Amino acid sequence: MINVTTTKEWIMMKRMNLVLAGTVLISGLALGGYALSSDAVLANEKEENQSGITYKEAEEIAIRETGGGHILQLERDRDDGEDRYEVEIHKDGQEYEFDIAADSGEVKQRKSERIDDEDNDDDDEGSKLPADALSTDEAIKRALEEVDGIVSEVELDKEDGQYVYEIEVETGKNNETTIDIAAVSGEVLKVDMDD
C-alpha cells in the first residue's frame, strides 16, 4: 500500500523546489540584466561625453588663436549645462585661457594676462620642452593604454627636472585614475586609482 502522506509530502517538496529554483533563476536573470544595462549606460555616457571635438582639436584651436605657445593645461568640463574644453597656454610672457565649446569648437571665452616674475619661471621652463616630447594627444593615447575610461584633464608639469603629463581618467561612476607619463620618454611613472 502506498503511503498517501509520503506522496503528498513528496509533491509539496517538489513544488517548493520548483518555486525556489524559479526564484533563483529570475533573480539571476534580473541581476544579469541590471549588470548589462549598467555597462550599457556607462558606455552610452562615454559616447555622449565624448561627442564633438577631440582634445587634439581643442588644442589646435587654442594654438591657432595664440599663434603658437605651450599648452600647460587642457581639461574637458561642464559649465552652464555645456561641455567645454578649458585650455591654458603660455607664450611670450603671456598666459592665455580659453573656453572652447566641446560640441562645435567655438571659442566661448578668451582671457589673456601678463605672467608675473614668479610664474614666468614656469613659462621659461615650458618653452624649453624638447621637440621630441610627446604631444598632448600622444600622452592621452598612452594613458588610455593603461586604463579604459574618459579623459577629464591633462596637465603638463615639471617634476624632479623632467616634464610629466598628469592625465586624469574617469573609469566609472565616481572612480578616477591619475596617470603620470614622462613627456619625453612616454614612460608611465605612476598610476593612482581613486575610488
Give me the DSSP letters along 133-159.
Answer: SPPHHHHHHHHHHH--SEEEEEEEEEE
Record the cell numbers describing residue 9, joined without a space: 509530502
Q: Which CATH number fits domain 54-128: 1.10.579.10, 3.40.190.10, 3.10.450.40, 3.90.1310.10?
A: 3.10.450.40
Average pLDDT over every residue of 104-131:
72
Q: Please indicate, yes or no, whether the overall pTM of this predicted structure exceeds 0.75.
A: no
Record the cell numbers describing residue 189, joined without a space: 611613472
Cβ neighbours of residue 124 closer than 8 Å, sequence gap 6 or more: none
Q: Do the beta carbons of residue 129 and residue 183 sit within 8 Å? A: yes
Fold observed for domain 130-195: Nuclear Transport Factor 2; Chain: A, (3.10.450)
Record the cell numbers describing residue 147, joined without a space: 586604463
What pLDDT digit, counting tens, does each position of 19-31 carry? 676 666 676 666 5
Q: What percent of the chain has pLDDT over 90?
A: 37
SS3 percent helix, strand, coil of the chain, rounded to 5, is 40, 35, 20
Q: Give dist(CA 172, CA 152) in Å, integer.
A: 12
Asked if 54-128 and 130-195 have one fold, the answer is yes
Q: Where are the domains of the chain?
A: 1-49, 54-128, 130-195
Q: Give dist(CA 55, CA 102) in Å, integer.
A: 9
In this prediction, residue 109 has a pLDDT band, given cuts at 50, 70 and 90, of very high
**pLDDT for 190:** 93
Q: Give dist(CA 103, CA 106) in Å, integer.
A: 8
Query: Is 46's pLDDT higher than 50?
Result: no
What pLDDT digit, counting tens, does each position of 129-140 carry? 777 888 888 899
What φ, ψ does residue 163 adopt, rounded to 5°? -80, 135
Record the cell numbers describing residue 180, joined without a space: 603620470
